[in-house]
Amino acid sequence: MKTPAAWRRNRPMWVRNAWYVAAWSHEVADDGLLARTIMNEPLVLYRTGGGTVVAMEDRCCHRLAPLSLGRREGDDLRCMYHGLKFGPDGRCNEIPGQTTIPARAVVRGYPVVERGSWIWVWMGEAARADVSQIPETIAASDPDWNIGMGCLDYAANYQLINDNLLDLSHLAFVHENTLGRGTPQWATEQPIRARLDRGVRFQRRFRGRGPSHYFGKPGERYDMWHSYDFLVPGLFIQRPAWYPLGTAKRCDGKAPAEEPLFVRCDDQAVIPVTDRSSRYFYSAGGRSKDASLELAGEIFRFTEVAFHEDKVIIEAQQKVIDQDPGRQMLSLSMDGGPNLFRGIVRELIAAETSIGGGAEAARAG
Amino acid sequence: MKTPAAWRRNRPMWVRNAWYVAAWSHEVADDGLLARTIMNEPLVLYRTGGGTVVAMEDRCCHRLAPLSLGRREGDDLRCMYHGLKFGPDGRCNEIPGQTTIPARAVVRGYPVVERGSWIWVWMGEAARADVSQIPETIAASDPDWNIGMGCLDYAANYQLINDNLLDLSHLAFVHENTLGRGTPQWATEQPIRARLDRGVRFQRRFRGRGPSHYFGKPGERYDMWHSYDFLVPGLFIQRPAWYPLGTAKRCDGKAPAEEPLFVRCDDQAVIPVTDRSSRYFYSAGGRSKDASLELAGEIFRFTEVAFHEDKVIIEAQQKVIDQDPGRQMLSLSMDGGPNLFRGIVRELIAAETSIGGGAEAARAG
Amino acid sequence: MKTPAAWRRNRPMWVRNAWYVAAWSHEVADDGLLARTIMNEPLVLYRTGGGTVVAMEDRCCHRLAPLSLGRREGDDLRCMYHGLKFGPDGRCNEIPGQTTIPARAVVRGYPVVERGSWIWVWMGEAARADVSQIPETIAASDPDWNIGMGCLDYAANYQLINDNLLDLSHLAFVHENTLGRGTPQWATEQPIRARLDRGVRFQRRFRGRGPSHYFGKPGERYDMWHSYDFLVPGLFIQRPAWYPLGTAKRCDGKAPAEEPLFVRCDDQAVIPVTDRSSRYFYSAGGRSKDASLELAGEIFRFTEVAFHEDKVIIEAQQKVIDQDPGRQMLSLSMDGGPNLFRGIVRELIAAETSIGGGAEAARAG
């Protein structure tokens, strides 16, 4: 697939100085090596004996073979093509048949943080890695919540998936029989948008909606407070809460202070793999006081059905775009969220590109 | 697959102002949406309640999702990504969450004609759509004929298929055991060629040929008058007729005026899908007075076997061309038909490109 | 797959004036046509009635269809698209429907030699074809040897396979459980390298190694003299020999003059098919006095398992390279062989490119 001129013109197309989800915690086993690609860079992940996750370039500096076909030796990783051995910091510490190790015998290491059941990798300049940018997400082990965890591979550019999550009006159409059932308001009423430091917050209330698939009694009606943040590089953090009918009116568009009847949770991460492929990590469930493990499993599976509905339309959209990459999208009222977020991404890329340019200039000077 | 320099140099490579077969009539059901690609443009086809076929761009003007994943609502078509609704003329008539509809909220509509069991779509400027350019082809419902109808997908540029149909000398080799059996004259004798307004007419007579697979008695011999037109953009219209032995001599190379013993019919349309893929629609059969439904079915299946022989050699030819796209073909006597038709196509493309240029200049001025 | 800039910059990337193995002798049957691609050129091979192998361009000069879909007629080959017939020299000698045959109606013929169970094709200027450049390899029919013969297709550039064969230190890692088992010296001790006219000779001795999979008694130890030549364009000719313990010390790094206990043989040819695909021909076995047909079969199958180990790592290496084609390899002590051979290839390409340039200038002048 040829990269459309539009993407090439925008290069670099990715925010580098950001935390990217590389895996679920449980995917990085105590032994074993996990190969992942993020922003077209090959990574290998593993755990040291102490349990710390290591992420390094999955490309031996010698002849460019993947280290993920290598062998763990203690906390080191040996390339099984010609036997170079690397420490967790990426420095080569053994070369068969020679005693001196050149300074260039090193593979890139990436800052890694394990938090909330995700392995977060910092893809930019290590010195700028800022742990405070990692949002709070719900861990599988959190006793207050019950969640299911999953992952989908997309044959589409990550921006199309972000766009989808930044405009939930599509729930009324793509998900008319699943997530959007009985709530045409998704399309007819716009949420309130607030720009965050590195993202956008969306808030809205639904008045008198009926029971959903997983909460509520037949015939009863509820108010819902719906709020989510969408953060750089592509994180969707959502905690919808149900209240007794009348709460919305009383609160007049603000978040209710009282205890909700039911809260569900959704943490999602959109990861660019290549120009035309992405990985989508997601959890879904509810407060353990509202949702048993069984009910959380139902919420998760119900949600996963909807994610396949997204996948069908987004991958089809990507194919149509690739037939005529110069074709422009038409901006409508509902596109406020996607447009705002695309602008934030562009600004961050521009800023770090000029930083990078400065750094390179300094190095050269 | 990289487009060879030769094709790129020739761009535009397609006649736009022409009728292209998009589908068999029966493929466009009363409900349902049919997605097709012609000349790299995505189309969606459907029938209104009145039965009229609509063809429009299969790409929502909003975020470029395919309308063929949408939903019919009366005679309108709703995009099921974010809910824009379009009339049969391509104009958007509903946008969820906003009341004004921008003038740019429109998808391209294509002139469509349903004739002779084919859906014909005009791919060029709508104002130039000229129904008189659609040749007479045989409809499935025509009581005078019995036909079978089929379709093949080709991994090859449409010109290679046109070339094949413009030089039937290949019958003696590609089809030596099927269509060309017992008639080496296909290769040894050249037909008479006449340039038509938008095509080429080929005529020849076979003297004393034996019975074919589907007509004639063992041991008897016949004369055959063979005539076909090959028309822009890639239409093959053939009506071979069998006569008693001696007819050819009497008519001295002209079409016999008398009633033939047997007439078969072949209507074929070669459709460019992309640079490297094509669709080939075809019907084959005979006059109902000569060929029962059963015999027409035999003619059709026998012919389809031969079309698979073509597909093997043409797709292999395309692969060889792609290994070294700069390689030139060598023009021989038998290439008069292909060369003449390629010249007509080039002229039409040049003419409509300069027309287009003029129109654009007028709009800009 | 886009060709990385690195390969394009190096173009031409192949030595043309060299013998390439196109097939095993038994693959070119008495009748039948064999299609092969070498250096992105399509070839068709067949045997004349006298048994001589013919190799010509697998591309009819008329409309570029492959001749390998054609038909043998005596020693000639007829294209089964439009019937042009070619002699074994590549000259067209029949064109249906016309009597004169243009001088340009010719396909390229290639010099061919059948020797040692391989069909060797000269891919460069025919006038420079030099049979003395074909090394001695072992024929299936040689009574002194018993061998097995095989072939693997690689999704990798031929240079990566050559590199692998030019640095056997990888045996200690890639083949630690097969060919390299019990001999870490492959990685820790460097062989002696000698530059040959068109290749490199590698020699080393192993002292006191244990029995191998196919030779030696449990508990006993042997010395081994290991010698192989690697020749342009990618030929690996190896004859490892086992001796009684102590022989190596007595010979002091030179080849022992005495009769060995056991000699195995390996002939291999790496063939560039395209930029990103290669074919790997190989035989393996032993002297018939040492290895019965059964034991030779075991040696062969054991070796073939190891070749699949190479294929896994080399194809993975190619994928990593293609993710970032600008990435440089790091040269270490063990890379003396690959570096020396890559230099020889570069010199030959440079020399024949300037020869070619001269020839073209002369023709134009």
**Which residue from B163, B320, B332 is facing C98, i.e. has the nearest CB?**
B332
Residue of A nearest to B103 (CA): A330
Residue of A nearest to B275 (CA): A323
Contact criterion met (CB < 8 Å) for A80 and C173:
yes
Contact criterion met (CB < 8 Å) for A172 and B95:
no
- Out of A328-332, C110-114, C181-185, C311-315, least confident range: C181-185
Strand runs (DSSP E) across chain A, as ranges?
A: 19-24, 34-38, 41-47, 53-57, 71-73, 76-78, 85-86, 92-94, 109-110, 112-115, 118-122, 145-154, 192-196, 199-209, 222-231, 235-238, 241-244, 262-274, 277-287
- Out of A97-101, B233-237, B354-358, C20-24, least confident range: B354-358
User: C70 to chain B nearest CA, in Å?
Assistant: 9
Average pLDDT over residues A235-251: 95
What is the residue-averaged pLDDT of chain C? 93
User: A111 to chain B nearest CA, in Å?
Assistant: 36
User: C262 to chain B nearest CA, in Å?
Assistant: 47
CB B35 within 8 A of CB B21: no
Average pLDDT over residues C125-129: 96
Instruction: Find chain A residues with C-beta within 8 A of C163's C-beta.
Output: 63
What's the one-letter identity of residue B309?
A: E
Residues 6+ apart with CB under 8 A from C115: C134, C137, C139
| Backbone torsions φ then ψ of A316, nearest 5 degrees | -70, -40
Contact criterion met (CB < 8 Å) for A97 and C324:
no
Six-digit token pair at A105?
């015998």
Residues 6+ apart with CB under 8 A from A81: A60, A62, A63, A65, A69, C170, C173, C174, C313, C317
Residues 6+ apart with CB under 8 A from B97: A169, A187, A188, A189, A190, A332, A333, A334
Instruction: Find chain B residues with C-beta within 8 A of A167's C-beta.
Output: 82
Best mutation target, C38, C82, C100, to test chain B (most B CBs within 10 A): C82
Instruction: Find chain C residues with C-beta within 8 A of A41's C-beta.
Output: 323-324
Give me the pLDDT at residue A355, please. 57
Interface partners of chain C (CB pairs < 8 Å, 3 or more) are A, B
User: B165 to chain C nearest CA, in Å?
Assistant: 12
Give me the pLDDT at residue C44, please. 98
Give me the pLDDT at residue A240, please. 96
Residue of C nearest to A101 (CA): C332
Give me the pLDDT at residue C354, please. 77
Contact criterion met (CB < 8 Å) for B97 and A327:
no
Instruction: Find chain A residues with C-beta within 8 A of B62's C-beta.
Output: 329-330, 332
Contact criterion met (CB < 8 Å) for B316 and C69:
yes
Give me the pLDDT at residue A182, please. 86
Structure ipTM over 0.90, yes or no: yes
Contact criterion met (CB < 8 Å) for A187 and B62:
no
Beta bridge partners of C122: C19
Using a CB–CB cut-off of 8 Å, the residues of A that contact B are 163, 167, 169-170, 172-174, 176, 187-190, 312-313, 316-317, 319-321, 323-324, 327, 329-330, 332-335
Contact criterion met (CB < 8 Å) for C313 and A63:
no
Contact criterion met (CB < 8 Å) for A327 and B59:
yes
**Which residue from A169, A316, A319 is facing B97, i.e. has the nearest CB?**
A169
Instruction: Find chain C residues with C-beta within 8 A of A79's C-beta.
Output: 173
Residue of C nearest to A107 (CA): C330
Interface partners of chain B (CB pairs < 8 Å, 3 or more) are A, C
**Which residue from B170, B320, B334 is facing C64, i.e. has the nearest CB?**
B320
Instruction: Find chain B residues with C-beta within 8 A of C98's C-beta.
Output: 332-334
Q: How many CB atoms lie within 10 A of CB B11?
A: 11
Q: Which residue has the higher pLDDT, C363 or C247?
A: C247
Residues 6+ apart with CB under 8 A from C37: B323, C43, C273, C274
Ordered per-residue pLDDT tens for chain B, 365 residues: 344 444 444 456 899 999 999 999 999 999 999 999 999 999 999 999 999 999 999 999 999 999 999 999 999 999 999 999 999 999 999 999 999 999 999 999 999 999 999 999 999 999 999 999 999 999 999 999 999 999 999 999 999 999 999 999 999 999 999 999 888 999 999 999 999 999 999 999 999 998 988 999 999 999 999 999 999 999 999 999 999 999 999 998 889 999 999 999 999 999 999 999 999 999 999 999 999 999 999 999 999 999 999 999 999 999 999 999 999 999 999 999 999 999 999 999 999 987 544 443 333 33
Between the CA of residue B189 and those of A1, B184, C265, C283, what are the distances in Å? 46, 9, 60, 53
Average pLDDT over residues A327-341: 96
Contact criterion met (CB < 8 Å) for C97 and B313:
no
Contact criterion met (CB < 8 Å) for B81 and A333:
no
Contact criterion met (CB < 8 Å) for C62 and B330:
yes
Contact criterion met (CB < 8 Å) for A65 and C313:
yes
pTM (2 d.p.): 0.93
Q: How confident is the model at residue C355 (pLDDT cuts 50, 70, 90)?
A: low
Instruction: Find chain C residues with C-beta within 8 A of A104's C-beta.
Output: 330
DSSP A342: H
Instruction: Find chain A residues with C-beta within 8 A of C332's C-beta.
Output: 62, 82, 95, 98, 102, 105
Give me the pLDDT at residue C182, please. 86
Contact criterion met (CB < 8 Å) for B62 and A329:
yes
Q: How many CB atoms lie within 10 A of CB A295?
A: 16
Counting Cβ atoms within 10 Å, is residue A110 exposed (0-12), middle (13-18) or buried (19+)?
buried
Q: Is the pLDDT of residue A358 over 90?
A: no
Ranges of H-type helices in B118-275: 158-166, 185-188, 247-251
User: C310 to chain A nearest CA, in Å?
Assistant: 9
Q: Which residue has the higher pLDDT, A200 or A4?
A: A200
- The alpha carbon dihedral of B86, B91, B96, B99 has a sign of negative
Prior bond to C233 cis, omega within 30? yes
Instruction: Find chain B residues with C-beta within 8 A of A169's C-beta.
Output: 82-83, 96-97
Q: How confident is the model at residue C9 (pLDDT cuts 50, 70, 90)?
A: very low
Instruction: Find chain A residues with C-beta within 8 A of B37's C-beta.
Output: 323
| A:C CB pairs within 8 Å | 80
Contact criterion met (CB < 8 Å) for C330 and A62:
yes
| A:B CB pairs within 8 Å | 82
Q: How many CB atoms lie within 10 A of CB C187?
A: 22
SS3 state of residue B180: coil
Give me the pLDDT at residue A13, please. 86
Q: What structural domains and CATH numbers belong to chain C?
A: 21-133 (2.102.10.10), 145-345 (3.90.380.10)
Best mutation target, C334, C335, C342, to test chain A (most A CBs within 10 A): C334
Residues 6+ apart with CB under 8 A from A219: none
CA distance C94 to C78: 9
Residue of B nearest to A314 (CA): B65
Counting Cβ atoms within 10 Å, is residue A103 exposed (0-12), middle (13-18) or buried (19+)?
exposed
- CA-based nearest residue to C151, from C345, C255, C254, C21: C21
Give me the pLDDT at residue C16, please. 96
Instruction: Find chain B residues with C-beta within 8 A of A311's C-beta.
Output: none
CB B107 within 8 A of CB B85: no
Instruction: Find chain A residues with C-beta within 8 A of B98's C-beta.
Output: 332-334
